[in-house]
Amino acid sequence: MQQRILIQTLALATSLLGAGMAAAQSTPIKFQLDWRFEGPAALFLTPAAKGYFKDAKLDVTIDAGNGSGGTVTRVASGAYDMGFADTAALMEFHANNPDAPNKPVAVMMVYNDTPASVMALKKSGIKTPADLNGKKLGAPVFDAGRRAFPIFAKANNINGVQWTAMDPPLRETMLARGDVDAITGFTFTSLLNLEARGVKADEVVVLPYPAYGVKLYGNAIIASPKLLKENPAAVKAFLAAFAKGMKDVIANPAAAVADVKARDGIINAELETRRLQLAIDTAINSANARAEGFGQANGPRLALMASQVSDAFNTKTRINPDTVWNPSFLPSKAELNVLPKK
């Protein structure tokens, strides 16, 4: 009897030891989103929910964010290992903090085209960028579209714009009630937020930056230099698992949004599914993404963006695109083949 108990005890100890060793072999990754748990967060929450990160021996925790600038700063501080942030915000950090010891690096392009646009109500009479001359525009001071507006203005000869700043929740409200003539924002964010405030989509004029001469990249996955140096295999594994999850998200956005609702039960699943689909159609599965390849960045285009952001953001130093972007951790071409044919 005692011998059997001893054997059972040893078996249990061995099992626990094995589980502990397996857990120890998983690399912890703290990941910061650019925004709240909305539809596009499914890009990361779905591969987590399906166990793709776990299968890659990664213990990934995903937190909501409050803007790309904050995400870049938190990865730079070491509070997070990786994140999802606007490429322009990453470039700005590099140029304004040339001596920072831990400048994050973009390792995979996700939004091949910036989702930024100018939006106005049709009743305002604004139909083209030229109609924005002398108008009152509104956006939070850190909004990506507002920060990049000088690039949009230069490309379209816009002058005399007056800016009104507000907190993010008030942006679409102020446009709906006529306090401003137009706003800047990510199309898939502001368009649906306007609808939630009683404005129908066909009452809104959308002027997407990419359609009017602004070829900026949007959000990319960023990583800390410390992680890139100390555990490059973990970064490669993360990107491969993410790409695998992208196929699932694109194939079934509604199912992917269920993974978002699991993290934030108060979201409107139908609304967030539409938001996710808008993000896929406008920023992920774009003509440029299909031409360049998902996850990739074109060298000359990135260099042009670096120059434009340096000028528009009035950075302390000029941006060197070679220090901002590192594609060497990307999965194979076959693994990156996630975009459906248009």
Query: Domain ranges in the chain?
Result: 7-113+217-329, 116-212
Distance CA 200, CA 208 (A): 18
Given this model, what pLDDT does residue 2 score? Answer: 54
Using an 8 Å Cβ cutoff, are 330 and 295 in contact? yes
Residue 59, classed as helix, strand or coil, is strand
- State CA 334 to chain mean position distance: 23
pTM of the model: 0.90
Given this model, what pLDDT does residue 341 score? Answer: 77
**Given the structure tokens 């507002």, which residue do they identify?**
146
Distance CA 300, CA 37 (A): 34
Convert the pLDDT of each residue in 261-295 to its tens digit: 999 999 999 999 999 999 999 999 999 999 999 99
Given this model, what pLDDT does residue 3 score? Answer: 52
- Half-sphere exposure (CA, 13 Å, Cβ side) for 209? 29
Using an 8 Å Cβ cutoff, are 295 and 333 in contact? no
Predicted confidence (pLDDT) at residue 5 exceeds the cutoff of 70: no
Find the helix packing angle between 87-96 and 299-312, rounded to 10°: 60
Find the helix packing angle between 87-96 and 68-77, rounded to 10°: 50
Check residue 78 and give left, alpha or beta (phi > 0: left; psi -120 to 50: alpha).
left
Q: How confident is the model at residue 18 (pLDDT cuts 50, 70, 90)?
A: very low
Convert the pLDDT of each residue in 49-106 to its tens digit: 999 999 999 999 999 999 899 999 999 999 999 999 999 999 999 999 999 999 999 9
Using an 8 Å Cβ cutoff, are 88 and 148 in contact? yes
Given this model, what pLDDT does residue 150 score? Answer: 94
Distance CA 329, CA 6 (A): 48
Predicted confidence (pLDDT) at residue 114 exceeds the cutoff of 80: yes
**pLDDT > 70 in the chain, percent:** 93
Q: How confident is the model at residue 19 (pLDDT cuts 50, 70, 90)?
A: very low
| Helix (H) or strand (E) segment spanning residue 245 | helix 232-251
- 7-113+217-329 fold: D-Maltodextrin-Binding Protein; domain 2 (3.40.190)
Best CATH choice for the domain 116-212 from the list 3.40.50.1950, 3.40.190.10, 3.20.20.370, 3.40.50.720: 3.40.190.10
Asked if the domains at 7-113+217-329 and 116-212 fall in one CATH topology, the answer is: yes
Using an 8 Å Cβ cutoff, are 185 and 268 in contact? no
Predicted confidence (pLDDT) at residue 22 exceeds the cutoff of 50: no
Distance CA 221, CA 312 (A): 23
> Who's near 325: CB < 8 A, 6+ residues apart?
105, 106, 220, 297, 302
| Helix (H) or strand (E) segment spanning residue 26 | none
Mean pLDDT of the chain: 93
